[in-house]
């Protein structure tokens, strides 16, 4: 069988039709396809049932030339699925989408951040659209992705199936039905294939949550282990050829008695030839790094600092596990997958979070661990309602505005400027450097915590000051060169000067939060033209 040609990194789809009738195709039939590339490399990919007598295989070739493939079916007497063979041509990618110009996404050599296969650093700037793939129209989804790409986002996080935030609102639609064992509904995923593909088409990496797991009704808890594995393997087969980073569990409790179950699920789903990176999204203020960092399928330490504003919650982020335990081995990137959401009520005060809390949590997250990235969230986008509604399963949040109210907010603007700021410097070389400070204001009040980082060669320091007040640095920690202040609200470089041996106190040039860059500041670009 001769298939169409495909560009390197793009998705090739092969359709197969069974010659036999199978009573329960989802459970009773397994298909794998062995792809052999022009250099002799061999890659094994799972196929998936797509309803009726149709099975499909999706594959992204990683080298130009002629590829050959052959199928192996667990029902070897099905001549429509077993021992089928074919070939296709892969040609070099020659277009502008960054997702296909650099190879696949992987851990950088030092394992502190993500990088493309050719070594180009990848800054994770995620947006939270939990219900986007589930609820959005094709037109609205395209509008959203177009805007997020233009705003500098690089990753879109979403949920794959019904969950606590989208069951009733989906009407009769379900990804699966519960029974003695789950019954899969392929048409549910057929209606969402184009939206997953659209994420990549807009130059964004998809980060699908496979098994939301907070409540007993969520798939990660409701499904028996074998069913959870079967569903997650299906998702990996269906969407794994796209540029994705898998989030195996969503909002779950993965520690203690739950750890081994999730380890078994991860091994069963990703234990073979894993093509894509994998992480977990834990419940709030739960650090799972030590429970999972030794698992070969686990690539990124994801955490959720959450939606609290108490001293205890703030200290967990700036002085707790994210700030202390990133040094442990094996080294992995550390990314806050759910900090304070814009427009989200605080757990501890009668107010909602603004762009200030969004910025503060983001800069803290990026500087208390080696800089790898951070995720943003705003209530209207993750809820994705056509009109104002109280989110399903989240009644305590109260009414949330329609999805489009979250497209262009002060918080989104802050995140755009954040990305531009970090892209103007060698962010992948930054490491936490609390020793730069002669005194830490956050010891008494975590709201005043000053986050400091510097490059590995010590020639550039970056300090985030959440409340405008003088900061005192250790003389020996100050690099040679100059200093510049950056306003994260407007994206403007402000006061600057030459570092001298006698100067170790630095005062922000105005109210609010500020960033101070010291040392080789000539290495910095401009997020906006200097005033």
What's the full length of the chain, in residues?
531
Instruction: Kindly state the DSSP code that residue 256 receives in the 8-state scheme.
Output: G
CA torsion angle 231 236 239 242 (round to 10):
160
Residues 6+ apart with CB under 8 A from 488: 359, 363, 414, 417, 418, 421, 513, 514, 515
Residue 520 is predicted with a pLDDT of: 87
6-94 and 117-423 in the same fold:
no
Label each residue of 427-461 as H, E or C.
HHHEEECHHHECCCHHHCCHHHCCEEEEECCCCEE
Q: Mean pLDDT, consecutive 10-residue segments, the chain of 531 residues?
A: 86 98 98 98 98 98 98 98 98 96 97 98 99 99 99 99 97 96 98 99 99 98 98 99 99 98 98 92 98 98 98 98 98 99 97 98 99 99 98 97 99 99 97 98 98 97 98 94 96 90 91 96 53 26
Which residue is associated with the tokens 């505005």? Answer: 401
Bridge partners for 13 per DSSP = 58
Residues 6+ apart with CB under 8 A from 448: 441, 442, 466, 467, 469
Label each residue of 201-242 as H, E or C.
HCCCEEEEEEEECCCCCCHHHHCCHHHHHHHHHHHHHHHCCC
Residue 528 is predicted with a pLDDT of: 35
117-423 fold: TIM Barrel (3.20.20)
Residue 326 is predicted with a pLDDT of: 98
Q: Other CB atoms closer than 10 Å to residue 519's CB: what's the count?
A: 22
6-94 fold: Immunoglobulin-like (2.60.40)
Tokens, residue 39: 């250099």
Alpha helices in 258-409 (DSSP H): 259-270, 289-292, 311-319, 321-324, 355-368, 379-383
Q: Where do the domains of the chain lie?
A: 6-94, 117-423, 430-523
Which residue is associated with the tokens 């002799």? Answer: 40
Distance CA 135, CA 377 (A): 17
Radius of gyration of the chain (CA): 24
CATH top-level class of 430-523: mainly beta
- Asked if 13 and 69 count as a contact pair (C-beta separation under 8 A), the reply is no
Bridge partners for 70 per DSSP = 34, 85
Tokens, residue 107: 């851990």
Residue 503 is predicted with a pLDDT of: 85
Q: Which helix (H) or strand (E) holds 187?
A: helix 186-201
Residue 4 is predicted with a pLDDT of: 83
């Amino acid at each position: 069988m001769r298939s169409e040609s495909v560009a390197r990194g793009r998705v090739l789809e092969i359709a197969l039709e069974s010659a036999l009738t199978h009573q329960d195709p989802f459970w009773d039939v397994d298909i794998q396809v062995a792809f052999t590339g022009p250099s002799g490399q061999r890659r094994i990919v799972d196929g998936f049932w797509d309803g009726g007598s149709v099975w499909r295989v999706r594959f992204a070739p990683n080298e130009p030339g002629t590829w050959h493939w052959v199928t192996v079916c667990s029902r070897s007497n099905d001549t429509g699925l077993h021992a089928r063979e074919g070939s296709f041509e892969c040609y070099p990618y020659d277009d502008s989408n960054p997702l296909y110009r650099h190879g696949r996404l992987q851990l950088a050599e030092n394992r502190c951040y993500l990088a493309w296969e050719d070594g180009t650093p990848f800054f994770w700037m995620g947006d939270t659209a939990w219900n986007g793939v589930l609820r959005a129209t094709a037109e609205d989804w395209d509008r959203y992705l177009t805007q997020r790409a233009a705003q500098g986002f690089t990753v879109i996080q979403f949920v794959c199936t019904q969950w606590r935030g989208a069951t009733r609102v989906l009407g009769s639609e379900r990804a699966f039905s519960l029974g003695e064992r789950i019954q899969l509904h392929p048409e549910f995923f057929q209606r969402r294939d184009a939206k997953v593909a659209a994420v990549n088409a807009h130059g964004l990496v998809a980060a699908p949550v496979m098994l939301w797991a907070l409540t007993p009704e969520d798939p990660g808890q409701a499904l028996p282990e074998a069913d959870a594995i079967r569903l997650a393997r299906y998702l990996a087969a269906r969407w794994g050829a796209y540029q994705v980073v898998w989030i195996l569990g969503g909002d779950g409790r993965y520690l203690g008695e739950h750890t081994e179950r999730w380890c078994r699920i991860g091994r069963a789903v990703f234990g073979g030839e894993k093509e894509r990176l994998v992480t977990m999204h834990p419940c709030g203020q739960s650090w799972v790094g030590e429970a999972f960092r030794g698992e070969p399928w686990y690539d990124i330490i994801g955490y959720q600092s959450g939606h609290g504003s108490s001293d205890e919650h703030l200290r967990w982020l700036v002085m707790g596990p994210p700030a202390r335990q990133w040094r442990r081995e094996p080294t992995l990137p550390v990314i806050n997958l759910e900090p304070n959401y814009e427009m989200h009520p605080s757990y501890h005060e009668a107010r909602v979070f603004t762009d200030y809390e969004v910025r503060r949590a983001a800069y803290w997250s990026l500087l208390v661990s080696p800089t790898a990235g951070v995720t943003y969230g705003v209530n209207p986008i993750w809820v994705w309602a056509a009109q104002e509604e109280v989110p399903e399963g989240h009644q305590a949040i109260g009414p949330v505005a329609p999805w489009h109210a979250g497209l262009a907010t002060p918080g989104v603007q802050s995140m755009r400027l954040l990305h531009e700021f970090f892209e103007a410097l060698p962010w992948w070389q930054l490491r936490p450097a609390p020793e730069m400070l002669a005194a830490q204001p956050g010891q008494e009040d975590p709201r005043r915590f000053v986050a400091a980082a510097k490059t590995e060669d010590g020639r550039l320091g970056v300090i985030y000051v959440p409340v405008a007040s003088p900061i005192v640095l250790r003389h020996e920690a100050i690099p040679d060169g100059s200093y510049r202040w950056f306003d994260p609200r407007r994206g403007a470089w402000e006061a600057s000067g030459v570092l001298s041996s006698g100067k170790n106190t630095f005062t922000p040039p105005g109210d609010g939060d500020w960033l101070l860059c010291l040392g080789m500041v000539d290495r910095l670009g401009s997020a906006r033209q200097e005033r």
